[in-house]
Chain A
Amino acid sequence: MKNFLQVKNLKFSFSKSKDKPIIFIPDFSLQSGQKIFLHGPSGCGKSTFLEIISGVVGADEGEVIIAEQDLQTLTPTQKDRFRSEHISYIFQSFNLIPYLNIFENITLPLYFKKSHKSFKDVQSEVETLCRRLGILNLLNQSVSQLSVGQQQRVAVARALISRPQLILADEPTSALDFDHRDQFLKLLFEVCSEKNMTLIFVSHDHSLKALFDQAIAFKDINRMDLI
């Protein structure tokens, strides 16, 4: 089976110190539908790694291939487009836009995609997704009226509306209490499994490890010792 994500000889350094890379990943790959848990101490480069995968940050050397597309060969604009077509990001804070209502927040990613769907299609898709997430009755409300639990569902709905193949979650649960964290993960896993989405989940919280297909310490793939 072909790998969905393939990283080879990736080198990255902050522009000022080209000679001192902070990331060197000789070989890392994921298959479609895999859910992995990536952990490591703060500042070890996990978030930067996610940004390279999503194409926001360019690598110095090496190749990043997602869905048979080599990111390094794309222009910044093409990368942005590729990201909006294939990848969704979920952050620690839900980062909903406060002055848009729930429906507008959820559909926001669609406006940056190349192919616009008709309003009717979008409407029915949002409704299906929100019924599934139990937030159908909230669509016309403003963000400030929602509870934390409702906000996280909206964030998940927003991450899923563009039908991404890869979800990058950067410490999405660190601001949540125990109950909300469990609900959130359950929801995320269910939807990922349904749509066969690949998930990279970055966290400090080792208690979550067991829930994933695979747990990887970042230092095991980031082989700085080999340089």
Chain B
Amino acid sequence: MIFLKLAFKSIRNRLFITSLTVTSIALSVFLLLSVEKTRRLARDGFTNAISQTDLVVGARTGPLNLVLYSIFNMGSASNNVSWKTYQEIKNDPAVDWVIPYSLGDSHRGFRVVATDENFYKYYRFRSDQQVEFLEGKAAQTTWDVVIGSQVQKKLKYSLSDEIIVTHGVTKGEGVVKHDDKPFRVVGILKPTGTAIDQTVYITLQGMVAMHETEESHAHHDHDHDHEIHNGDISAFFLRAKARTQTLSLQRKINEYTQEPLTAVIPGMALAELWNGLSQVETVLQIISIMTLGIGLVAMLGTLLASLNERRREMSILRSLGAGPSHVALLLVFESFILTLLGVLLGVVLQLSLFYFLAGWLEKAFGFYFFGSSLALSEVGYLIIILLAGAMVGLVPAVKSSRAALKDGLTAKI
């Protein structure tokens, strides 16, 4: 095929300018894909902060509030779930497992969560990631404590260090210090990029024991309400035996007669919450579109410049009997090849860079990569780029078909 031969030989002949063109296209594609990927990760990272949990259950409250304090450690529980109710739901035949979550205390600005071994066993985020230990093991006995990676990083704790837990959630000195009850660090968690990193985990017994001894010290004068009484918990995560039972369980819990409860499906609540924060996504989307626009203009510019140089060549071909359609086909084919090379290079660049930098980005910024490497919308953008790149070949083609044959063939004075 003469067009392949002409196009490839011509590209090879102008290797310097064509490689510049390809590089500029590749960089545009790289930038676009990076922005798009960031956008995707921001959304997915948010909505995948918890997974494999069918329902989050707490005392009667708004679904957003429940999700915020149980998953993101933001705000506080307005009320507790009684231990009796928790046990009853836990033993429901439709329930596979539950993870209790008890809030209310803090340690130097970090939240303290009381939970049990199910947390280490069943808690999942980003579809199938689970809590892993950098050092040590799960909290088992009353005074055991496990800390998240950010807690470790900031407070420089190591295994066996003793720490003091404060009542109430404050920065620095707490309202009441449980001075006489030092906890011992038995485990340090690996970074997860979720709220887990900023949390201190103790056992349910630990929390109960801490408050019981406090009561016996007869601090009757402090007037703040305890969130924790007799092992009440703030919330719990629940997994149904079969996903089809989720809705009936949710209805059952919401209509529970002994005490007012709220059960929400976390995925739905998180998606709803994200939509509330959609401005973030809109901004990133605008950046994407601007990147695409600027990239296209720059790309069309370089392609046009390199094609304009070839007017003489096109005139020669015309004089040898090539019709305007031949010339157009050749130019379109050539700019398509250049664009294709640029797009492929950009994709390879983006994928390999993210692949090599993923570890570092995770460590340094808690920026996690997961999910597919190319989303459908990104493929759509790439097709737009390819088409625009091919079409730009038409501009000089139309120009050369209008120009007189002699144009560009004789030296102009």
Assess whether A97 is in contact with B406, with CB atoms less than 8 Å apart: no
Cβ of A112 and Cβ of B410 under 8 Å apart? no
User: What residues of A have a CB within 8 angstroms of the CB of B10 in the complex?
Assistant: 99
How far, in whole Å, are A93 and B320 apart by their CA atoms in the complex?
14
Contact B320 A108 (CB under 8 A): yes
Q: A interface, how many residues as a size bin?
A: 20 to 34
Q: Does any Cβ of A come within 8 Å of B74's Cβ? A: no
With A93-B411, A99-B13 already in contact, the answer to whether A170 and B406 are too (CB < 8 A) is yes
Q: Are A100 and B9 in contact (CB under 8 A)?
A: yes
Residues of chain B within 8 A of A95, CB atoms compared: 312, 315-316, 319, 409
Whether B323 pairs with A97 at a CB distance below 8 angstroms is no
Question: Looking at the complex, which one of B12, B313, B315, B323 makes contact with A112 (CB distance below 8 Å)?
Answer: B323
Would you call B108 an interface residue if the criterion is a C-beta within 8 Å of the partner chain's C-beta atoms? no
- Shortest CB-to-CB span from B356 to chain A, Å, is 37
From 297 to 339 in chain B, residues with beta carbon under 8 angstroms from any chain A beta carbon are 312-313, 315-326
Q: How far is the CA of A51 from the CA of B402 in the complex (A)?
A: 13
Q: Once the chains are docked, how many angstroms separate the CA of A52 from the CA of B406? A: 12
- On whether the beta carbons of A93 and B409 are closer than 8 Å, the reply is yes
A51 to B409: give the CA distance in the assembly, Å: 13
Of A51, A77, A113, A158, the residue contacting B404 (CB under 8 A) is A51
Question: A98 near B13 (CB under 8 angstroms)?
Answer: yes
Please tell me if A224 contacts chain B, counting CB pairs below 8 Å.
no
Contact with B along A80-115 (1 / 0, CB 8 A): 110111000101110101111000100011011100
Q: 0/1 per residue, A7-21, Cβ < 8 Å to B?
A: 000000000000000
Q: Tally A-B pairs: CB < 8 A.
A: 74
For B320, give the chain A residue with the smallest CB separation: A109
A118 to B95, CA, bound (A): 78
* Count of chain B residues near A, Cβ 8 A: 27
Contact A104 B12, CB 8 Å, known A51-B405, A76-B323, A93-B409: no
Say how far B217's CB is from chain A's closest CB, in angstroms. Answer: 92
Q: Chain A nearest CB: distance from B368 CB in Å? A: 49
Q: Bound complex: CA of A104 vs CA of B6, how far in Å?
A: 10
When A54-B405, A92-B410, A111-B2 are in contact, do A77 and B325 touch as well, CB less than 8 Å? yes
Given contacts A99-B10, A112-B326, contact A91 B321 (CB under 8 A): no
Closest chain B residue, CB of each to CB of A99: B13
What CA separation (Å) do A56 and B318 show in the bound complex?
Answer: 9
Q: A residues within 8 A CB of B2?
A: 108, 111
Q: Which residue of B lies closest to A171 (CB)?
A: B410
Provide the residues of chain A in CB contact with B312, threshold 8 Å: 95
B120 to chain A, nearest CB (A): 67
| Contact status B409-A91, CB under 8 Å | yes
Q: How far is the CB of B234 from chain A (nearest CB, A)?
A: 75
Q: Are A51 and B406 in contact (CB-based, < 8 A)?
A: yes
| Residues of chain A with a CB closer than 8 A to B222's CB | none
Nearest chain B CB to A99's CB is how many angstroms away? 4
- Chain B 367-398 interface residues, beta-carbon cutoff 8 Å to A: none
Identify the closest chain B residue to A87 (Cβ): B321
Q: Which residues of B contact A98 (CB under 8 A)?
A: 13
A56-B404, A91-B410 as given contacts; A97 in contact with B319, CB under 8 Å? no
Whether B5 sits at the interface, judged by CB under 8 Å, is yes
CA distance A104 to B13 in the complex (A): 15
Complex Cα spacing A112 to B13, Å: 22
A34 at interface by CB-CB < 8 Å: no
CA distance A97 to B5 in the complex (A): 13
Taken together as a complex, chains A and B put the C-alpha atoms of A109 and B321 apart, in Å, by 6
Alpha-carbon distance A112/B327, docked complex (angstroms): 11
Knowing A93-B411, A104-B5, A112-B326 touch, does A158 contact B406 (C-beta < 8 A)? no
Chain A minimum-CB-distance residue to B11: A99
- Kindly identify, within residues 50 to 85 of chain A, every residue whose CB is under 8 Å from any CB belonging to chain B: 51, 54, 56-57, 76-77, 80-81, 83-85
B residues within 8 A CB of A108? Answer: 2, 317, 320
Q: What residues on B are CB-neighbors of A112 within 8 Å?
A: 317, 320-323, 326
Q: How far is the CA of A77 from the CA of B323 in the complex (A)?
A: 6
Closest residue to A55 on the B side, CB-wise? B405
Interface residues of B in 1-39 (CB under 8 A from A): 2, 5-6, 9-10, 12-13
Query: Of B12, B321, B410, B411, which contacts A162 at CB under 8 A?
Result: B321
Cβ distance A89 to chain B, nearest Cβ, rounded Å: 4
Query: What is the CA–CA distance of A108 and B2 in the complex, to the nearest angstrom?
Result: 8
What are the nearest 6 A-B pairs in CB distance?
Answer: A84-B321, A80-B323, A99-B13, A112-B321, A111-B2, A89-B319
Could you write out 20 A-B pairs with CB less than 8 Å apart?
Answer: A56-B404, A56-B405, A76-B324, A77-B323, A77-B325, A81-B323, A85-B321, A89-B319, A89-B405, A91-B406, A91-B410, A92-B411, A95-B312, A95-B315, A99-B13, A100-B9, A109-B320, A162-B321, A170-B406, A171-B410
Q: Which residues of B contact A (CB under 8 A)?
A: 2, 5-6, 9-10, 12-13, 312-313, 315-326, 404-406, 409-411
List the interface of chain A (C-beta within 8 A of B): 47-48, 51, 54, 56-57, 76-77, 80-81, 83-85, 89, 91-93, 95, 97-100, 104, 108-109, 111-113, 158, 162, 170-171
Given A54-B405, A95-B315, A171-B410, 12 additional A-B pairs, CB 8 A: A51-B404, A57-B405, A80-B323, A84-B322, A91-B319, A93-B409, A93-B411, A97-B313, A99-B9, A100-B6, A104-B5, A170-B406
